[in-house]
Amino acid sequence: MKNTQINVPWLVRIKAGALQRLGLYLARSRLTPAALFYSEGMLPSILDGALQSLRDNGISPALLREVKEASAEEAVRLLSALPSSCRAMIGIGGGRALDVAKYTAFLAGLPYFAAPTSLSNDGFCSPQASLTVEGKRRSLLTGPPEAVVVDLAICQRAPLPLWHSGVGDLCSKFTAISDWKLAFHRRGDPVNDLAALISDASVFQFMANPASDEEGVRLLATALMLSGVAMEIAGSSRPASGSEHLISHALDMTRARPRLHGLQTGMAAYLVSSLQGGSHHEKIGELLARTGFWESIRKQPFSKEEWRIAVERAPSVKEDFYTILSERDAWPQFATMIAHDQALIGCFE
């Protein structure tokens, strides 16, 4: 599909101490006053630092709210509380606060500043919000943020499983692009070559230094941001989401307790890449091993039975979405891998 209007962030700050300059970025952009939504349970030092930055630049929040529920209904409630003077929306924290802030900004027609405090997935710069609607998880169109502010010092201090989740979500770009090209060859689904190139290249960029030091965090943040840009260019989620995301969505429907999205998509990408052939399976396995991804999985192993159900359900999760799972029953090969692949020892129970 050709996207005739492309919106990308016009302000990008990915560096240590970026959140302490949030007020300056807003003041320079003349987007004040702004509403600020933040994650439930956020460390007081992070929120205090952001608010102090606003005060230092003579800015008082038009609205300050803690986000406790990642739902479209919550976004509508917050929309009704926005004062008419509000000129921008800021989301600080994890996916829940960022998605609610992004969708509220979309409904209000306001510029949106995304300030993630961890890098667990590419949602902070994607053109959609993952929210529940009447209790069911949906991906709602929003457009990407106008500004991205990533404080490397804060993200580097985030819990290690969140880092591994971001790595896992990034790996899924390899399998997503393969599925996209497969859909082109099988059904003629159009591929946006620039979007595919950006998404693919972002993974290789991170592979240059897949470490959780400041440089590695910068590369991961940049790669995940570019994944969101690739989706906006393509006009769909195809550059970042394929069969591995179908499996993750099916797991969300199957599991009694939710797991980090990127841990699910990373594992699914490793399994799916074995079906797709080529060199991606080896690359994904090497990257997951180098970053310690498998250790996070082994601390809380996946249920083999839940994965069996999810893999069988995955092809029907998204209507008219052709992937490698559309062509074959994947579970027998996955079950063999789970039983015999050395990398997966201890990852399933």
Q: What is the pLDDT of residues 6-21, one digit of tens each?
A: 889 999 999 999 999 9
What residue numbers bound the domain in which 141 lies?
Answer: 11-156
Claim to verify: residue 109 and residue 185 sit in the same structural domain: no
140: number of Cβ within 10 Å: 16
Q: Is residue 349 part of a domain?
A: no
pLDDT 10s digits, 51-74: 999 999 999 999 999 999 899 999
Helix axis angle for 160-187 and 193-207, nearest 10°, is 150
Residue with tokens 């005739």: 4
pLDDT at 2: 52
| 87 in Cβ contact with 54 (< 8 Å) | no
| 270 in Cβ contact with 285 (< 8 Å) | yes
Last residue of a domain, one of 141, 156, 171: 156
Taking the C-alpha atoms of residue 190 and residue 185, their distance in angstroms, rounded to an integer, is 9
Q: Is 1 exposed, middle or buried (0-12, 13-18, 19+ CB in 10 A)?
A: exposed
Q: What percent of the chain has pLDDT over 70?
A: 99
Sequence-distant (6+) residues with CB within 8 A of 222 are 14, 202, 205
Residues 306-314: what's their mean pLDDT? 96
Tell whether the model's pLDDT for residue 1 goes beyond 50. no
Kindly indicate the confidence band of residue 4, based on its pLDDT and cuts at 50, 70 and 90: low
Q: Cα angle at 288 between 282 and 292, to 5 degrees?
A: 145
Can you spell out the DSSP letters for 155-220? HHTS-HHHHHHHHHHHHHHHHHHHHHHHHHHHH-----HHHHHHHHHHHHHHHTS-SSSHHHHHHH
Helix axis angle for 95-108 and 72-81, nearest 10°, is 60
pLDDT 10s digits, 79-134: 999 999 999 999 999 989 999 999 999 999 999 999 999 999 999 999 999 998 98
pLDDT 10s digits, 134-152: 888 888 999 899 999 999 9
Q: Cα angle at 31 between 153 and 198, to 5 degrees?
A: 55
Claim to verify: residue 129 and residue 181 sit in the same structural domain: no
Q: Is residue 102 part of a domain?
A: yes
- In CATH, what number is assigned to the domain containing residue 52? 3.40.50.1970
What total of structural domains would you count in the chain?
2
Tell whether the model's pLDDT for residue 3 goes beyond 70. no
Cα–chain center distance at 331: 26
Q: Is residue 3 part of a domain?
A: no
Claim to verify: residue 103 and residue 169 sit in the same structural domain: no
- In CATH, what number is assigned to the domain containing residue 297? 1.20.1090.10
Q: Return the half-sphere exposure (C-beta side, CA atoms, 13 A cut-off) of residue 278.
A: 13
204: number of Cβ within 10 Å: 12
pLDDT at 253: 87
First to last CA, the chain: 42
| 16 in Cβ contact with 152 (< 8 Å) | yes
Claim to verify: residue 141 and residue 179 sit in the same structural domain: no
**Average pLDDT over the chain, rounded to an integer:** 94
Q: Is residue 254 part of a domain?
A: yes
Tell whether the model's pLDDT for residue 233 goes beyond 60. yes
